[in-house]
Amino acid sequence: MKMKLFFLYLALAFLSAEVFANPIDGFDGFKWGTTKSEIIEARGDEPIIWGDFEVWQAKDGETVSGFPIKLIGYEFKDGCDENNETRSSPCFLGGGAYLLETTSTDDIATLTGLLRGKYGKDKITHEVLKKRSPSDGFLYANINSTRHIWERADKSAIELFYKSYDRDYVENLNEVKKGVFRIGVRYYSSDYMKQTERAEPRKKSF
pLDDT at 194: 76
User: pLDDT tens, 32-56?
Assistant: 999 988 999 999 888 898 888 999 9
pLDDT at 192: 80
Cα-based torsion angle of the residue sequence 142, 167, 71, 145 in order, rounded to the nearest 10 degrees: 40
The DSSP symbol for 117 reads H
- Look at 80 and 167; give whichever has higher pLDDT: 167
Number of domains in the chain: 1
User: pLDDT tens, 141-173?
Assistant: 999 999 999 999 999 999 999 999 999 999 999
Q: How far apart are the C-alpha atoms of 70 and 103, rounded to whole Å?
A: 11
Residue 205 lies in a domain: no
Residue 206 lies in a domain: no
Is-contact 166 178, C-beta < 8 A?
A: yes
Q: How far apart are the C-alpha atoms of 18 and 128, rounded to whole Å?
A: 35
Is-contact 95 184, C-beta < 8 A?
A: no
Residue 146 lies in a domain: yes
Residue 192, classified by CB atoms within 10 Å of its CB into exposed (0-12), middle (13-18) or buried (19+), is: buried
Q: Which domain holds residue 44?
A: 2-199
